[in-house]
Amino acid sequence: MKQGGLHMRRQSRRNTIALILAAICSAAGTVRGDSLWPKRNPQRAYLCQDSRARNVGDLVTIVVAEHSNVDNNEDKSMSKSTRSKVTADFEASSGGGLATQDSNAALDLSNSSGRDFNGKASYKDSRGFTDQITVSVVDVLPNGNMLLAGRRTLSIAGEQRNLIISGMVRPIDLGPDNKVNSRYVADLRTVYEGDGPSRQFVRQGWLGRAANKVWPF
């Protein structure tokens, strides 16, 4: 009788342990290993992974540093001179039974002319434009080159400034921080527009602009 009761208690313990293990396994199957932390960004999950832009929608910062210097000097000098001279002598004699006639003629023509021209022109122009703007990749060509385009609008006290930029860049020219200098951007197109009271104030009137078109001097 005692042996039967002991056997039943052992069997009950086994069943309890089995149920506990089954519950633990069931709970472990539904718990995710990274559920306690926010989901990682796959581009930043590894320290050695290259995170440079390469797909449509990625961002690239263009450092605009454009400088143009024009220094043109032209010096021209021309000289021309002509000289001509014509000399002719004529002598004739006639005689007869009563009288003799002699005649002499001389022709001397000379001409000289000269012309000089000296001209000098000098033109200098120096301009610079520096800025920085972050644009997006709008297309990726089959060779990997990326087309960039972006626009920035700034409004302060009624003055509006628009910077529009586009171009094409090679992935190899991008820095590790996704920055590229404007001198490495092919087909670079930069437009800087402004509108506001100050622009309208310094702009020449319509009558003055019309007069400049027909003014001959």
Same domain, 64 and 143: yes
- Do 166 and 198 meet the contact criterion of CB atoms below 8 Å apart? no
CA atoms within 13 A on the CB side of 53: 28
pLDDT value for 78: 78
**117 phi/psi in degrees, rounded to 5:** -145, 130
pLDDT value for 115: 76
Q: Give 121's pLDDT tier (boundaries 50, 70, 90).
A: confident
Token pair listed for 149: 């385009």
Q: Give 129's pLDDT tier (boundaries 50, 70, 90).
A: confident
Residue 20: other Cβ atoms inside 10 A: 10
Same domain, 80 and 111: yes
Rounded mean pLDDT, 126-154 = 91
Structural domain containing residue 67: 59-72+125-203
Same domain, 171 and 65: yes
More confident residue, 117 or 52: 52
The three-class DSSP label of residue 29 is: helix
Same domain, 136 and 195: yes
Same domain, 91 and 197: no
What gap in Å lies between CA 39 and CA 32, rounded to an integer?
11
User: Is residue 54 a part of any domain in this protein?
Assistant: no
What global pTM score does this model have? 0.49
Tens digit of each residue's pLDDT (9 = 90 or more) over 87-114: 666 665 655 555 556 666 666 667 777 7
pLDDT value for 134: 94
Q: Considering its fold, how many domains does the chain have in total?
A: 3
Same domain, 159 and 66: yes
- DSSP characters for 148-200? EEEEEEEEETTEEEEEEEEEEE-GGG--TTSEEEGGG-EEEEEEEEEESHHHH
With 60 as the cut, is the pLDDT of residue 31 above it?
no
The three-class DSSP label of residue 107 is: strand
Tens digit of each residue's pLDDT (9 = 90 or more) over 167-193: 999 999 999 899 999 999 999 999 988
Average pLDDT of the chain, as a whole number: 76
